[in-house]
């Protein structure tokens, strides 16, 4: 894939491009890296990219064949758009079609008409961005920075797949037999009516329960959590670590703060990376084990860097590729 392939793309071109659709609906490390770098090279094209993303994410796909009435509705929308963009006069459909394509309407219609398989929505967030999502069952999710949430069909079962961090407020359903399941790494988190925080960044999955009831499942293992429990599952060791905590501390990012209590600088660095997309490097390896306590804003990375620098009387030097190097004086 080459950047020049997309340099002259219009909105409708992006909407019908398979690689662009894959990035929007099925993001991964490879296509994320490509499109992030492409946008840096072509910043003037970003508004077109943004609008095309919105359109793709808003489309509803279905397995069933589209009924005839749906075709009529699409053409009605096109005709309506034409009335607002051109003088009122008798026109032939080929001319209307050509003009509609210029606005991207036909591209959207084509996607709607010819996507035969279900493509559930995928939501992503950038570094430093929180997104508030309302799911089809009215459950609320606050998606943390540098995270991805993929939805299932929500027909026979309510389920989502999380990479990164999210805070869930799950609604009770009229049919209590329908569970809500969060897939995070190799863990399945089953809930009924609950608020909880899930972090799944580095191969370890951490779940903190604020209220309600959660069952963690992995293969044949099942662990019941109560409010105030923190459970961390370590993938490599295949074991659970459980302790009691103050849940609000672990969901503090929802309100725009990072709370560290006796956390190693190594742990702080990992959290800072996921929040801001910057990497902290400690020249003295023993420094990474130092303990740090502070409540800091997520609005300004400079405040976080300054707090670490002052707490340990360190020298701070900017490096390449969003890296910041700390050394002892």
pLDDT tens column, 257-286:
999 999 999 999 999 999 999 999 999 889
Contacts of 302 (CB under 8 A, 6+ apart): none
Mean pLDDT of 23-37: 82
pLDDT exceeds 60 at position 91: no
What local confidence, expressed as pLDDT, does residue 174 receive?
58
* Interval 143-158: pLDDT, tens: 999 999 999 878 778 8
Q: Write down the residue that tokens 């490096």 correspond to.
A: 319
CATH 2.60.120.1440 range(s) for the chain read 122-250
The answer to whether residue 180 scores a pLDDT higher than 70 is: yes
Handedness of CA 187, 149, 35, 115 (dihedral sign): positive
Residue of 208, 248, 249 lying closest to 229 (CA atoms)? 208
Contact 20, 52 (CB under 8 A): yes
Across the range 24-39, mean pLDDT stands at 82
Neighbouring C-beta atoms of residue 323, cutoff 10 Å: 12
Element housing 204 (H / E): strand 204-211
Q: Beta 180-184 vs 204-211: how paired, if at all?
A: unpaired
How would you label 194-227 residue by residue, b for 16+ Cβ within 10 Å and e otherwise? bbbbbbbbeeebbbbbbebebebeeeeeebebeb
Identify the pLDDT of residue 167: 95
* Maximum average pLDDT range among 25-29, 157-161, 164-168: 164-168
Residue 255 to residue 297: CA distance in whole angstroms: 9
Answer yes or no: is pLDDT of 166 > 90. Answer: yes
> pLDDT at position 172, please?
73
- Angle made by CA atoms 167, 172, 175, in degrees to the nearest 5: 140
pLDDT at 4: 55
Q: Is the CB of residue 150 less than 8 Å from the CB of residue 160?
A: yes
Of 36-50, 94-108, 263-277, the poorest mean pLDDT is in: 94-108
Angular region, 108: left φ>0, alpha ψ -120 to 50, beta rest: alpha
Q: Categorize the per-residue pLDDT at 42 as very low, low, confident or very high, splitting at 50, 70 and 90.
A: confident
Residues 6+ apart with CB under 8 A from 222: 215, 216
What is the predicted pLDDT for the residue at 247?
A: 92
Q: Is the pLDDT of residue 133 over 70?
A: yes
pLDDT for residue 117: 45
Secondary structure (3-state) at 185 = coil
Going by pLDDT thresholds of 50, 70 and 90, the confidence category of residue 29 is: confident
What is d(CA 77, CA 89) in angstroms, rounded to the nearest whole number?
17
| 291 contacts 264 by C-beta, under 8 angstroms | yes
List the CATH code of the domain at 256-328.
3.55.50.30
Residue range(s) in the chain whose domain bears CATH number 3.55.50.30: 256-328
* High-pLDDT (> 90) share of the chain, %: 38
- Region 294-316 average pLDDT: 94
What integer is the mean pLDDT of 316-322?
92
CATH no., domain 122-250? 2.60.120.1440
Confidence of residue 25 (pLDDT cuts 50, 70, 90): confident
């Amino acid at each position: 894939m080459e950047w020049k392939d997309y340099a002259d793309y219009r909105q409708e071109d992006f909407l019908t491009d398979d690689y662009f659709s894959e990035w929007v609906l099925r993001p991964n490390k490879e296509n994320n890296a490509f499109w992030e770098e492409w946008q840096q090279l072509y910043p003037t094209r970003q508004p077109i990219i943004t609008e095309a993303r919105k359109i793709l994410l808003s489309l509803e796909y279905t397995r069933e064949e589209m009924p005839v009435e749906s075709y009529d509705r699409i053409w009605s929308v096109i005709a309506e758009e034409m009335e607002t963009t051109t003088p009122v006069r008798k026109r032939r459909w080929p001319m209307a079609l050509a003009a509609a394509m210029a606005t991207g309407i036909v591209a959207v219609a084509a996607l709607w008409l010819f996507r035969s398989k279900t493509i559930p929505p995928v939501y992503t967030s950038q570094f430093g961005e929180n997104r508030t999502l309302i799911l089809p069952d009215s459950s609320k999710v606050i998606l943390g920075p540098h995270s991805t949430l993929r939805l299932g069909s929500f027909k026979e079962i309510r389920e989502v797949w999380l990479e990164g961090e999210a805070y869930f407020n799950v609604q009770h359903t009229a049919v209590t037999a329908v569970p809500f399941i969060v897939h995070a790494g190799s863990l399945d988190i089953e809930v009924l009516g609950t608020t909880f925080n899930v972090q799944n960044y580095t191969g370890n999955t951490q779940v903190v329960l604020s209220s309600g009831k959660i069952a963690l499942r992995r293969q044949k293992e099942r662990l019941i959590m109560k409010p105030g429990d923190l459970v961390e599952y370590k993938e490599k060791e295949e074991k659970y670590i459980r302790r009691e905590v103050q849940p609000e501390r672990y969901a503090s990012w929802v309100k725009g703060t990072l709370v560290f209590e006796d956390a190693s600088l190594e742990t702080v660095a990992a959290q800072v990376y996921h929040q801001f997309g910057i990497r902290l490097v400690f020249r003295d390896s023993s420094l990474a084990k130092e303990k740090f306590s502070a409540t800091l804003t997520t609005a300004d990375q400079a405040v976080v860097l300054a707090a670490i620098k002052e707490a340990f009387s360190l020298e701070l030097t900017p490096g390449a590729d969003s890296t910041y190097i700390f050394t002892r004086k």
